[in-house]
Amino acid sequence: MDSVVPLILPVVAAVALMATIYFVSRGARAPALDEILARRRLYEDWQDFEAGEVWISADRRAALATDRGSNRLGLVYAFGDKLPSRLLGPGDILSARLDGGRLVIETKDFGRHHFALVSTGEAATRPWAERLSRLAAA
Amino acid sequence: MELLIILQYVVPGFVVAILAELAWMKWRGGVSYEWRDSVASLTMGLGNLVDGAMIAALLYVLFAWLYGFRVVDWPAAAWWAFPIVLLVQDFCFYWSHRLSHEWRLWWAAHVTHHSSQHYNLSTALRQPVTGFFALSWAPYALMPLVGIPVEAIASAHAVSLAYQFWIHTEAIGRLPAWFEAVFNTPSHHRVHHATNPRYLDRNYAGTLIIWDRLFGTFQAEVASDPPRYGIVKNLGTFNPVVIGVHEWVSIFRDLRAARTWRGRLMCLFGPPGWREDGHGSTSETIRDDWRRRLPQAAE
């Protein structure tokens, strides 16, 4: 029995902490994106990327940006209460399509391969889907 | 067995500390815990117990054997020798930790600990689950060779792990100058977990920051450059399995795609972010780009 307690204790403690943290921190969301915030996030994360044109998804939970110096695209997305980012270049994307009001991006990234960005309408979103598709084909 | 007894005392302390940190965040306003992030961290902490048990089982045998080849014979198990044992353990930790950032093979296990974008006491428990396979425990082989018995090594390791728990917090600012000069502190370790170019691959210390000062990897926290936590390319998942194995998958893919033996070797022992096609970003190239972009800030 004495040797069982130290084995059970970490599990009980972890479950109790998970429940406490849920009640204390629930509802935390990433800030809504706008162009300034999207540019700032990309500027902070990537030293070799200079955002040109920026697109913000309709729900303001994702953004795409062109790079002034290359054909890469910057992607900022809401994840929990944070706004991490990615650079998408040739060879990083499997496919990109407009599907049911969403710009769906499939990447080769094992950490996160699927992104679904809420469209701002066919006319505004189509050029971004085409840019992404060109990267997928490269 | 000693480790199980230590767990019995350490776990309640961890729980109380996390509850205190949560209470402090509630009081100041703005709880910087994300519950799915913390669930992932705590789950990986439990997974690390299994990984740790496997490493302990191997090292008890291996280090007891190595102890037979010790180059110094001294009463390292005596109580008065324990500070020296801690010093040697901390030196080994520094090199194991530093190489865990500089060699991709070891980074594959250690990246787990850096994968949260939050810096709180639950992040301290987000520990590797594949350390056994990465072999990043190898530098500790120095300890039996300098005459430290296995039991003393285990005790020193437990003290080191317990010490490093409390420094994973934003609740503590700067401590007295003499303490910051000698010991690893929350401020020094915030730097270590940050992805700001200035802070990348700095402050590898476990308990004593003197090793970073000695080996040129020290960086003080700069008030005008608040740390942004996580890894250069943040994961975007709370799945503990993905967090635990993503870099291994990435290494495997790169090994398969590598065209030269140099490329294959660099996939394992080159810095994280290195790519055979020359388009990778390592800590050094990121820092160089940053210096070019903001030369005044970099001074």
Give the count of beta carbons closer than 10 Å to the beta carbon of residue A4. Answer: 9
Per-chain mean pLDDT for chain A: 94
Sequence-distant (6+) residues with CB within 8 A of A2 are none
pTM for the full predicted model: 0.94
Q: Is A82 on the interface with B (CB under 8 A)?
A: yes
> With bands split at pLDDT 50, 70 and 90, how would you rate the model's confidence at A1?
low
Per-chain mean pLDDT for chain B: 94
CA A61 to CA B174: how far, in whole Å? 35
Residue B253, domain member (yes or no):
no
Residue B236, domain member (yes or no):
no
Contact B92, B132 (CB under 8 A): no
Determine the residue among B26, B28, B33 to mutate to test chain A binding: the one whose Cβ has the most chain A Cβ atoms within 10 Å. B33
The beta-carbon neighbor of A110 closest among B14, B33, B242 is B242
Q: What is the pLDDT of residue B2?
A: 63
Contact A13, B49 (CB under 8 A): no
Number of separate domains in chain B: 1
DSSP per-residue letters across A55-83? EE-TTSSEEEEEETTSS-EEEEE-BTTB-
Reading the block at residue B38, the tokens are 């913390």
CB contact under 8 A, A85 and B234: yes
> With bands split at pLDDT 50, 70 and 90, how would you rate the model's confidence at B296?
confident
Nearest-neighbour CA in chain A from B231: distance (Å):
10
> With bands split at pLDDT 50, 70 and 90, how would you rate the model's confidence at A101?
very high
- Give the mean pLDDT of A25-45: 94
DSSP per-residue letters across B267-290? HHHSPTT--TTS----HHHHHHHH
> With bands split at pLDDT 50, 70 and 90, how would you rate the model's confidence at B128?
very high
> With bands split at pLDDT 50, 70 and 90, how would you rate the model's confidence at B140?
very high
> With bands split at pLDDT 50, 70 and 90, how would you rate the model's confidence at B279?
confident
CA B105 to CA B272: how far, in whole Å? 9
Residue B262, domain member (yes or no):
no
Cα–Cα distances (Å) from B9 to A6, B12, B18, B48, B83, in that order, read 9, 6, 15, 18, 21
> With bands split at pLDDT 50, 70 and 90, how would you rate the model's confidence at B5?
confident
Q: Is the pLDDT of residue B290 over 70?
A: yes
DSSP 3-state of A118: strand
H/E stretch holding B135: none
Nearest-neighbour CA in chain A from B184: distance (Å):
26
Rg of chain A over CA atoms, in angstroms?
19
Q: Is the pLDDT of residue B1 over 60?
A: no
How many CA atoms lie less than 13 Å away from A46 in the CB half-sphere? Answer: 26
Window 101-130 of A: residues touching B by CB (8 A cutoff) are: 110-112
B79 or B229: which leads in pLDDT:
B229
Q: What is the pLDDT of residue B119?
A: 97
The boundaries of the domain holding residue B74 are 3-215
Give the count of beta carbons closer than 10 Å to the beta carbon of residue A101. Answer: 13
Helices (H), chain A: 5-25, 35-45, 122-137
Residue B157, domain member (yes or no):
yes
Residue A48's closest chain B neighbor by CA?
A: B289
ipTM computed for the complex:
0.91
Running DSSP on this structure, what letter comes out for residue B81? G
Q: Is B37 on the interface with A (CB under 8 A)?
A: yes
Out of A7-11, A16-20, A43-47, B229-233, least confident range: A7-11
Residue B161, domain member (yes or no):
yes
Out of A73-82, B254-263, B290-299, least confident range: B290-299
